[in-house]
Amino acid sequence: RQPQPSGMESGAVTVRTKKFVTNRLLQRKQFVCEVIHPGLAGVSKNDLKEKLAKMYKVADPSCVLLYGFKVAFGGGRSSGFGLIYDSLTAAKKYSPKYLLTRFGMGKAKATARKQRKERKNRMKKVRGIKKSKGS
């Protein structure tokens, strides 16, 4: 069995951007990213991030956020959404919290959703000073 080429090693991977918009208000560039990768199941987002950072001359590749990639039926082509922020502070300021946690820039909520709901419902049953104690 021969080793498969991983990601960008195969020169056949093409990255295109469509619907490119410069959003000055949110200090970012936003676009639909189309990746053509014949013979590969998919391309890692880190490889794409580095390639896009080089394409658009971005100093810090962590300012490039890629998400929502779907492989087209039949394979060989994927498309998703990309954002290139002017700076890391702009990314932290304007990106949704869930995306920041996904990219390792924010912190996840401490407790599980189910635990929070159970606690809320327990609080409904007590009155007065007991509520502040928490249970």
% the chain with pLDDT above 90: 36
* Cα–Cα dist 58/80, whole Å: 19
pLDDT by residue (tens digit) across 48-66? 999 999 999 988 888 899 9
User: 58 or 11, which is more confident?
Assistant: 58
Q: Residue 8 above 90 pLDDT?
A: no
Only one residue has tokens 């490039």, namely: 64
Which burial class, exposed, middle or buried, applies to 43 when counting CB atoms under 10 A from its CB (0-12, 13-18, 19+)? buried
What is the amino acid identity at position 38? P
Tokens representing residue 85 in the block: 């922020």
Residue 78, pLDDT score: 92
